[in-house]
Amino acid sequence: MSALVTAELEQEAIAWRRHLHAHPELSFEEVETSLYVEETLRSFDGLELDRPVATAVVATLRGARPGRVLALRADIDALPIEEESGLEFASTRPGVMHACGHDGHTAMLLGAAKALCARRDELSGEVRFVFQHAEEKPPGGACQLVEAGVMDGVELVVGAHLAAMKDVGKIGCPVGPMAAAADTFSAEIHGRGGHAAAPHRALDPVVVAAQAITNAQHLVSRTVDPIKSAVVSITRIHAGTADNIIPEAVQLGGTVRTFDPEVRAEMREGLERVLRGVTEAHGASYTFAYEEGYAAVINDETAAETVLAAARSELGDDAIMDVEPIMGGEDFSAYLEKAPGAFFWVGAGREDGVPHHHPRFTIDEAAFRSGIAVFIRTALDYLA
Ligand SMILES: [Zn+2]
Ligand SMILES: [Zn+2]
């Protein structure tokens, strides 16, 4: 186990996490959370603190000598979920819960900041600790911080996510695709309402919608290169008011997940093509709105190797786990548009654990040691 993380530092990180867990705040509303982070950082030695937006905190640690610039990022927001974990430090706020582990991310980065402040003499260059608001809600906090100049001059950016369904303390950092581009769409299919007993006098948008939904399934199975991947999920469908009325219109919505920008564009075009073709075939009409969400997180090869080397040297070869990319989205991608970087997993549970975003979601705090150690070692090596 890493000597970089003392038992005392580990206990502090756990205490910070529990405070944050009990006081969660929703995306773009992290007023108390960011104040708590700021005050905690202020208690360390030698950080310059900045508030690029009211709900985020950036701390800069300048090493003893000039050198490269490394950004380390944690997200700080919670989710609109009523907690059912039964933990003694469960959320004190109705309907709001840290159900993705961002409380743990914040605690781990605070721990790394504290340890690195004490090792300032060993650093050539600068570490920027980015405590980012609003990861869970597009457009996300990352793009706002990038806009505010947080990435200016940064040469490597590294972030971590706890993984409740991976073994505690294991580190996974794939080269290449890590998290998918996550887009959303809405559509409305317009027919002509009427009496359910006289469909010939109406234009039933329900059967047209059924065709469009079925045809959309062909996009992934028949148009995407099988070596690449994509998901199209139609998750909303609304129509009708009574059993004897053919409605005027059907509303649909869903999400598209991809890694490859070309596949992303193909899915967008393909969805509209299906809607256009199917509605035209039946004399109906449509409207379509496509919203691009977070871009895909693609880990830079050298950056991922830097993180993995740090993990190996602090935690040993056995602590490295193989991980597949996920189809979930992460706004860490906004930083990667500005500098190469890597986003890594820290196992914090078990395979049969409760998934993220669940009311009974929990993480094993024993994972923090590993996450903190990887952050510290990455900084010490990169800024050696
Ligand atoms: Zn989440
Ligand atoms: Zn998350």
Ligand at shortest distance from the CA of 332: 2
Active site residues: 77, 135
Ligand at shortest distance from the CA of 356: 1
pLDDT digits (tens, 9 = 90+) for 256-312: 999 999 999 999 999 999 999 999 999 999 999 999 999 999 999 999 999 999 999
Ligand at shortest distance from the CA of 163: 2
Cα of 75 vs centre of ligand 1, distance in Å, is 10
At 60, is the pLDDT very low, low, confident or very high (cuts 50, 70, 90)? very high
- Cis before 139 (ω within 30): yes
Cα of 63 vs centre of ligand 1, distance in Å, is 33
Across the chain, the runs of DSSP E, i.e. the strands, are 47-50, 57-62, 65-75, 124-132, 156-167, 171-172, 176-179, 181-190, 194-195, 230-238, 245-246, 249-258, 285-291, 297-299, 341-349
pLDDT digits (tens, 9 = 90+) for 337-384: 999 999 999 999 987 889 999 999 999 999 999 999 999 999 999 999
Cα of 99 vs centre of ligand 2, distance in Å, is 8
pLDDT digits (tens, 9 = 90+) for 179-229: 999 999 999 999 999 999 999 999 999 999 999 999 999 999 999 999 999
At 1, is the pLDDT very low, low, confident or very high (cuts 50, 70, 90)? low
Cα of 140 vs centre of ligand 2, distance in Å, is 12
Cα of 359 vs centre of ligand 2, distance in Å, is 14
**What average pLDDT does the chain have?**
97
Cα of 372 vs centre of ligand 2, distance in Å, is 17
How far is residue 66's CA from residue 257's CA, in Å, rounded to a whole number?
41
pLDDT digits (tens, 9 = 90+) for 68-118: 999 999 999 999 999 999 999 999 999 999 999 999 999 999 999 999 999
How far is residue 98's CA from residue 78's CA, in Å, rounded to a whole number?
4
pLDDT digits (tens, 9 = 90+) for 227-252: 999 999 999 999 999 999 999 999 99
pLDDT digits (tens, 9 = 90+) for 4-32: 999 999 999 999 999 999 999 999 999 99
Would you give the DSSP letter of residue 340? -
Cα of 222 vs centre of ligand 2, distance in Å, is 32
Query: Could you tell me the CA-to-CA distances from 30 to 50, 96, 134, 334 in Å, in that order?
Result: 15, 12, 8, 20
How far is residue 191's CA from residue 202's CA, in Å, rounded to a whole number?
8
Query: pLDDT at position 353, please?
Result: 85
Cα of 168 vs centre of ligand 1, distance in Å, is 18
Cα of 137 vs centre of ligand 2, distance in Å, is 10
Instruction: Name the amino acid, one letter, at 107.
Output: A
Ligand at shortest distance from the CA of 74: 2
How far is residue 110's CA from residue 17's CA, in Å, rounded to a whole number?
10
How far is residue 232's CA from residue 187's CA, in Å, rounded to a whole number?
14
Ligand at shortest distance from the CA of 102: 2
CB 161 within 8 A of CB 105: yes
Query: pLDDT at position 350, please?
Result: 83
How far is residue 150's CA from residue 109's CA, in Å, rounded to a whole number?
16
